[in-house]
Amino acid sequence: MNKHQRSVTLRSGVKIGPGHPCFIVAEVGNNHQGEFELAKRMIEEAAKAGVQAVKFQKRDVEALLTRAGREAAYSGRNSFGATYGEHREALELSLEQMADLKVYTESLGLVFFASCWDEPSLCGILDLDVELLKICSADLVNVPLLRRSAEAGVPIILSTGMSAFEDIDIAMAELRRSHDEIVLLHCNSTYPCPEECIGLPVMDSLRERYGVPVGYSGHERGIAPSVAAAALGACVVERHFTLDKTMKGTDHQASLEPAELAQMVAMIREVEKALIIKGKKVFPEEQGAAKKLRKSIVFSRDLPAGHVLCESDLTTRSPWVGISPVHWDEVLGATLKRPVKHEEPLQWDILSLIPAVGSNVATS
């Protein structure tokens, strides 16, 4: 692993990288159904769940799709329009609404940012003075959009779904022409993603290859892989968020509802605490438990003074109030200075020990 990963610092002072709390993102995406009030409620619920940021998506449908793509028939239970263009338009919030949502998000102490799927959307979101940009997996190979995003000088989170290392190499080279304030997210762009296809160890490869903060964008149904990603060092965990998984739309089933999001946040914070101590140490609370639960060497029967101890004279019992069994071999062959009783804990001051071979220490 690259030991010199640098952190990315946002204008608000939030730091993303090794040694800092995992940056947890609620991906609102288009799960607001194109409704401003629903989007606002989602921000509020995400804040209650304890995330650090909410992320939206912005598209200019004419800049995003060809005429044929816009006019393509689009039917089915998740359709919001007769054509794919109408469907996409129905799910969009205006830039004015995005501006209001940014103000509301920041009033709750969260970071607001968005993935911009085309250049007009990128220009519009940058006009909102955001402190962070997201480049989605679909645009990792979109060189013109990569260049325009990087030239804005804003820190970038780049998702790596659908991409081989060769693709990521090209994208990183383009972004680094302008700056290195980049976070990579490991991602499988299958919705929902089967657990066996997630591949969390890929995060290590990304860290080693690029030397930037690495996180995880999850599309699984549950929360365990996302928590595991944090345990494996993810600096960012991003999950799609919804108020109701049964709502119409393709992303809801791979999204977390408020209670699930809150549970994931709490578990990630628990994991972070569990990773604070790096070296083995014995805590004071453990020392108290050791006195109660560990054992002492005790006598297995009454014995007279002058008796030379052998294994049949001794056993072990709790609590730990005498000599620890770790010294078992040292006390065998020692001579008792006084009589002892059954189950009396063995103490050093009642023994005459045999000197170790080569020792000049006299027998006590």
CATH number at residue 319: 3.90.1210.10
Chain centre distance of CA 307: 61
DSSP state of 356: P
If we measure between CA atoms, which residue out of 205, 198, 197 comes closest to residue 169? Answer: 205
**Distances 271 to 8, 14, 17, 22, 297 between C-alpha atoms, Å:** 22, 20, 16, 10, 39
pLDDT on residue 357: 52
Q: How many helices (H) and strands (E) does the chain have?
A: 13, 14
pLDDT confidence of residue 361:
42
**Beta-sheet pairing, 214-218 with 182-187:** parallel
Where a domain ends, among 242, 274, 306?
A: 274
What's 209's domain CATH number? 3.20.20.70
Could you say which of 274, 305, 332 is where a domain stops? 274
360 within a domain of the structure (yes/no): no
Q: For the chain, what is the domain count?
A: 2
Are residue 222 and residue 314 in the same domain, yes or no? Answer: no
So what's the pLDDT on residue 251?
A: 84
Closest CA to 234 of 17, 42, 52: 17
SS3 342: coil
Rounded CA-CA distance 20/1 in Å is 17
Beta bridge partners of 57: 115
Is residue 218 within 8 Å of 264, Cβ to Cβ? no
Provide the pLDDT for residue 354. Answer: 75
Contact criterion met (CB below 8 Å) for 37 and 157: no
Per residue of the chain (364 residues), give pLDDT as tens.
344 568 999 999 999 999 999 999 999 999 999 999 999 999 999 999 999 999 999 999 999 999 999 999 998 888 999 999 999 999 999 999 999 999 999 999 999 999 999 999 999 999 999 999 999 999 999 999 999 999 999 999 999 999 999 999 999 999 999 999 999 999 999 988 999 999 999 999 999 999 999 999 999 999 999 999 999 999 999 999 999 999 988 888 889 999 999 999 999 999 999 999 999 999 999 999 999 999 999 999 999 999 999 999 999 999 999 999 999 999 999 999 999 999 999 999 999 997 655 545 444 3
Question: Domain residues for 336?
Answer: 284-352
362, part of any domain? no
Q: How many Cβ atoms sit within 10 Å of the Cβ of residue 99?
A: 17
Decide: 298 and 322 in contact? Cβ < 8 Å. yes
The residues near 65 (Cβ < 8 Å, ≥ 6 apart) are 84, 85, 88
Q: In the structure encoding, which two tokens stand for residue 77, read together?
A: 């239970």
- Domain co-membership, 147 together with 231: yes
Q: Is residue 243 part of a domain?
A: yes
Domain boundary among 221, 240, 274: 274
Are both 226 and 257 inside the same structural domain? Answer: yes
How big is the chain, counted in residues? 364
Q: Are residues 293 and 222 in the same domain?
A: no
pLDDT at 4: 56
One domain, residues 107 and 250: yes
Cα 304 to Cα 152: distance, rounded to the nearest angstrom: 89
pLDDT score at 225: 97
Q: Are residues 190 and 56 in the same domain?
A: yes
Pairing label, strands 214-218, 236-240 = parallel
Task: Look up tokens 């969260």; give the residue.
Answer: 110
CA pair distance 118, 145, nearest whole angstrom: 7
**What integer pLDDT is reported at residue 356 of this predicted model?**
55
